Amino acid sequence: MKFKLLFLLFTIFFININAQDYIFGKISSEENIEMPDVTVINIRTDERVSTNRDGHFMIFGRQGDELRFVKAGYERLNKKVTSENISSALNITLIRSAALIAEVEIKKGLTGDLKIDSKNLNPPKKVEKLKSDLAVYMSQKSDPRILAARPGEFVQPKGQGFSIGKIKNKWDDVDLMDYLTKALGEQYFTDLKIDKALTQNFIYYVFAGGFERNNILKYGYCSDADLYRFQRFVLTRISSYRAPQTQK
């Protein structure tokens, strides 16, 4: 009997440890402008998604995972997932990387003094040799060991490339979630006894339960019939969503 109880407790612990959920959030610039096309990577699973035009993203993950945010022209950012990130949205700010300004050469004009003009127009032989040696050095290939990853650093695996979602779709799940939130209104979810802070989490839970939305995402259009179908599907998921809260 004790062995069965220990086995049951171990199974429940193992399921909780390996459970995955949606992690969602929004990425903005230092100027508080939404950033589209930012690549979000779960380093543990190597899953990748891209932010939509409003800077929103959604990716599978669990507590303890590390997310990486990458966009050209901005400093790369890593973020550790905590228990709070599972139940509420992540707000990420990317900082623009420093850009080097090209050096502007100001040439001196003729002064009329032969000694000064000869120095300006005819640089010393040592300077010419240094420029020549630098040109030879820069043309040489770098030692591969210089560019090798440091111990413990994440290395992007080589492959045939990857696909981020369905590129041809006009909407993604975040777009549909935004539409449903506005179309149904805050009172609809209040009547379902869903906290305002958990509205997005509940909609993703309904999506994960098998709500058919391929055509909605493909054409970027949610009809009244789709909206009614979503409401009916909610009724099949609300009980199981509340169950863990009831058991507390």
Of 29-38, 50-59, 138-147, 212-221, least confident by mean pLDDT is: 138-147
Per-residue pLDDT averaged across 44-61, rounded?
91
143-154 pLDDT, tens digit per residue, is: 655 555 665 555
pLDDT > 70 in the chain, percent: 66
pTM for this structure?
A: 0.37
Helix, strand, or coil here: 47?
A: strand
90 close to 79: Cβ distance less than 8 angstroms: yes
- Residue given tokens 């779960």 in the structure block: 42
DSSP output for 194-232: --GGGHHHHHHHHHHTT---HHHHHHT---HHHHHHHHH
Structural domains of the chain, with CATH = 19-94 (2.60.40.1120), 173-247 (no CATH)
Over residues 195-208, the mean pLDDT reads 90
What count of other Cβ atoms lies within 10 Å of the Cβ of residue 33? 8
Across 37-55, average pLDDT: 92
Residue 172 CB neighbour total at 10 angstroms: 21
Residue 63 has pLDDT above 60, yes or no: yes
Mean pLDDT, residues 165-187: 86
pLDDT on residue 128: 73
Is a pLDDT exceeding 90 seen at residue 243? no
Residue whose entry in the numeric block shows the structure tokens 């997005």 = 200
Question: Nearest-5° angle of CA 115, CA 119, CA 121?
Answer: 115
Residue 193 backbone phi and psi in degrees, to 5:
65, 40
Query: Which of helix, strand or coil describes residue 93?
Result: strand
Distance CA 26, CA 200 (A): 13
H or E element: which one contains 115? helix 114-121
Residue 87 is predicted with a pLDDT of 72
Residue 8 is predicted with a pLDDT of: 44
Residue with tokens 């171990």: 10
Distances (CA, A) of 7 to 2, 4, 28, 160, 247: 9, 5, 46, 43, 21
| Phi, psi of 96, rounded to the nearest 5 degrees | -65, 135
